[in-house]
Amino acid sequence: MTNITYRDQQSAVLPLQDCPCSLEAIKQHIAEHGFPPSHGELAAALGVRSTNAIRKHLDALAGKGAIAIAPRLSRGIRVLGRESV
């Protein structure tokens, strides 16, 4: 039996192929409200407490070319045309 510490749980980030829900949550929020979600809103939508985990997911999505993030801009998330990430 493997013991997983609290620190291991907090540092674990799901691979994006296992969690496409973050991109879908962004798209859904934009469709409903007309603007992208804040990190806090996205965390609430995904059931995550840490906005730092959300930032890591967003950075990974940006690295894969699914979104663009405007620096120093509130709600600066833009979904790009690539559907298969």
Q: Domains in the chain and their CATH numbers?
A: 15-79 (1.10.10.10)
Find, among 40, 79, 41, the residue nearest to 61 by Cα: 79
**Confidence band, pLDDT 50/70/90 cuts, at residue 21:** confident
Predicted confidence (pLDDT) per residue in 36-68, tens digit: 999 999 989 888 888 898 999 899 899 989 999
As a whole number, mean pLDDT of residues 7-18 equals 48
Q: For the chain, report the end-to-end CA distance as a whole number of angstroms.
A: 34
pTM: 0.70
